[in-house]
Chain A
Amino acid sequence: MRYGAVTLWAALLAYPLVLYNQFYWDIGVGLLLAAITASAWNIVGGYAGQVSVGHAMFFGIGAYAPLLVYHLWKLPPVAGVPLAIGLSLALAVIIGVPTLRLKGHYFSMATIAIAELIRIFVGTWDLVGAAIGLQGPAVGRGWWDLTFRSEIPYYYIFLGVLAVLLSVTAVVERGRFGYYLRAIKAGERAARSLGVPVQQTKLKALMLSAAFTSVAGSLYAIKTGFIDPESGFGILVSVQMVIVAALGGAGTRLGPLVGALVLVPAQTAINTWFGGGGTGLTYILYGGIILVLARFEPGGLHELWHRAAPLLRRRARAA
């Protein structure tokens, strides 16, 4: 496993330099973004087992704030990142306190409804561009605007954020907080009877998750230089986080990254083969994948690997 992780990181570091081409950089950046959002979701959705399907609300805030500070005051978009994190943390508390009392399906329903509420509201709010959305600086006024012509700087910024996020996840995993989260996932009542501060722990997990999801949204908006209600707050943004994490293995550290490694190239391949009509097909594929996953392999690729690896090893030894 240790060698595997080192190889994975080495491959990710070398990737844009080895496959030196716009097409592969696009895939790489998309892949890292999917991995970041899914890993951020994973803290509350995977480890704590609170399946939020409304994380787009944090992603959207993260995406809108940088472009909004540019739009209103001509500040560099990066200045919006702390603002977005602050707003996301506040929102996490406001919606977390009531909704985290809800169990299972209720929590998912509540998060969907709140994210949709925000999406529709943003779509009617003129200050943030209503249905049309916001645009960033077309041409960078300096390096601080972070408008690079090449994808490579974005790639390494995204990779850096992913590394930080996964390190935080590793710390969480090993500490008392991580045990609390897993205890809550295994059974809330039992966790409470053992003295786990259930509500407080769930709220902390949601806040941590929201902050990183917001950063991911900011990265997306700064790179793309454009955001509208659908690509910021749309339900598919939330759904993608859940799918990517679940495919790789929800509640495992590298699961979301593995999910992104599989899903994003597959998505690009479909879009390339089928052209403009591919978008719908991508979601048919998404739907099919999670359906099959839920039916046959709810633990994701992670669990599949853990079951398959000993068999393969035995076969290798026998040969």
Chain B
Amino acid sequence: MLLLQVIVGGLLLGAVYALFSSGLTLIWGMMNFINFAHGEFVMLGMYVALVVVTWIGGGPAAFGLGAAFALFVLGVVVYLSLIRHVVRGPMLAQILSTFGLALLLRYSAFWIFSANFVSLPQTSLSGTVNLAGILMPVAQLVAGVVAITLTVALHLLLARTALGSRLLAVAEDRNAAMLMGIRPDRMQALAWGLSAGAAGIAGALMAIAYPWSPSVGETFGLTAFVVVALGGFGSVPGALYAGLIIGLIQALSAYWLGPVYKDIVVYALFAALLWLRPQGLLGRA
């Protein structure tokens, strides 16, 4: 029974991984660009949730939407003021730009919120439920379910709507899209907003279930790389499956080997994956 509980817990956390990783993979698919500050976006989403709860006293819906909105705006601003200018520059500048952003955001968070671990005060989502003998914290359950729903929604937005087609058209061929009357800059700014917004809301979801400190961004950023590499660069459904798999692997390795090994197993898997299948497990060559 305990094993089953571990598995369910892993899958629920994996769903949140899937949500923020789909943001990273969206940018990668759109413009062949890896955002090294993506984990920091998740971390900021957590602090936005904390600020909304403690200052305004908002409930889960308020801080979830607050985090999504704040990070959406940040994503658009980052694209317009920084990424747009470096994306056609040298490789080193591309990598440095988001690395610099990551350091800036992480240590600003240290500066403002201190290095201590914090967690959200008791919300309406505290407590546990008994699902056919499996005891699950409500917060984890809600976080996982909402995350899966949003990841699927993002996939549907890209695959089924006119807006999604416009985004994908820019990803496919910038110039051809321009000839069709699509403004690539606007679409890419929107993609950055969606990507950061997904990270922000994932952060808010995680904040209701787990304590955190400013340094979590680094771990989440790496986790997102692993998920994206496993699911195939640029694929949102891939990120969904891979997120669930990684969550499961982490939970099981923490259960069988001990908590310190959960990241070792995942990073080792990542290294092996890059060695054997650089295009990702589910990606195309």
Name A residues whose Cβ lies closer than 8 Å to a Cβ of B: 45, 49, 51, 53, 95, 98-99, 101-102, 104-106, 108-110, 112-114, 116-117, 120-121, 123-124, 235, 239, 242-243, 246, 250, 280-281, 283-284, 286-295, 298
**In the assembled complex, B100 has its CB within 8 A of some CB on chain A:** yes
Known: A113-B225, A284-B103. A298 touches B90 (CB 8 A): yes
* B182 CB, nearest partner CB in chain A, Å: 25
B65 at the interface (CB under 8 A from A): no
- Tell me which of B11-19, B105-113, B173-181 binds A: B105-113
**Closest chain A residue to B104, Cβ basis:** A287
Q: Is B125 an interface residue (CB 8 A)?
A: no
Q: Mind listing 10 A-B residue pairs with CB under 8 Å?
A: A49-B92, A51-B95, A98-B274, A99-B274, A109-B229, A117-B264, A120-B267, A288-B100, A294-B86, A295-B93
User: What is the CB-to-nearest-CB distance from A270 to chain B, in angstroms, rounded to a whole number?
Assistant: 12
Assess whether B107 is in contact with A109, with CB atoms less than 8 Å apart: no
Determine the chain A residues whose CB is within 8 A of the CB of B103 once the complex forms. Answer: 239, 283-284, 286-287, 290
Q: Which residues of chain B come closer than 8 Å to A235, judged between CB atoms?
A: 218
| Neighbour of A120 across the interface among B33, B86, B260, CB < 8 A | B260
Q: List A contacts of B157 (CB < 8 A).
A: none
The answer to whether B96 and A102 touch across the interface, beta carbons within 8 angstroms, is: no
Given contacts A283-B107, A291-B82, contact A108 B90 (CB under 8 A): no
Q: Are B274 and A242 in contact (CB under 8 A)?
A: no
| CB-defined contacts of A99 to chain B, threshold 8 Å | 274-275
Are A114 and B89 in contact, with the CB atoms below 8 A?
Answer: no
Interface range, B side: 35 or more
Q: How far is the CB of B83 from chain A (nearest CB, A)?
A: 9
Is there a chain A Cβ closer than 8 Å to B6's Cβ?
no
Query: Top 3 nearest A-B pairs by Cβ distance?
Result: A287-B103, A287-B104, A291-B100
Q: How far does the alpha carbon of A101 sit from the alpha carbon of B82 in the complex, in Å? A: 29
- Taking beta carbons and an 8 Å cutoff, which residues of B are in contact with A? 32-34, 36, 81-82, 85-86, 89-97, 99-108, 110-111, 218, 222, 225-226, 229, 260-261, 263-264, 267-268, 270-271, 274-275, 278
Main DSSP-derived SS at the B contact region: helix
The reply to whether A105 and B222 form a contact with Cβ atoms under 8 Å apart is no
CB neighbours (8 Å) of A53 from chain B are 95, 99
Considering the complex, give the chain A residue whose CB is closest to the CB of B90. Answer: A298
Q: Which residues of B contact A243 (CB under 8 A)?
A: 96
Neighbour of A290 across the interface among B99, B107, B260, B278, CB < 8 A? B99
Contact among A106, A288, A290 for B274, CB-based, below 8 A: A106
CA distance A294 to B89 in the complex (A): 9
The residue from A45, A120, A121, A293 contacting B100, defined by CB atoms under 8 A apart: A293
Identify A117's interface contact among B81, B85, B268, CB under 8 A. Answer: B268
Contacting residues, chain A, for B96 (C-beta < 8 A): 242-243, 246, 290-291, 293-294, 298
A295 CB contact (under 8 Å) in B85, B107, B225, B226: B85
Query: B residues within 8 A CB of A250?
Result: 92
Q: Which residue of B lies closest to A95 (CB)?
A: B271
A110-B271, A120-B267, A239-B103 given as contacts; is B111 within 8 A of A284 (CB)?
Answer: yes
Question: In the complex, what's the smallest C-beta–C-beta distance from A99 to chain B, in angstroms?
Answer: 7
Whether B102 lies near A287 (C-beta < 8 A) is: yes
B107 touching A287, Cβ below 8 Å: yes
Residues of B within 8 A of A109 (CB): 34, 225, 229
A51 touching B92, Cβ below 8 Å: yes
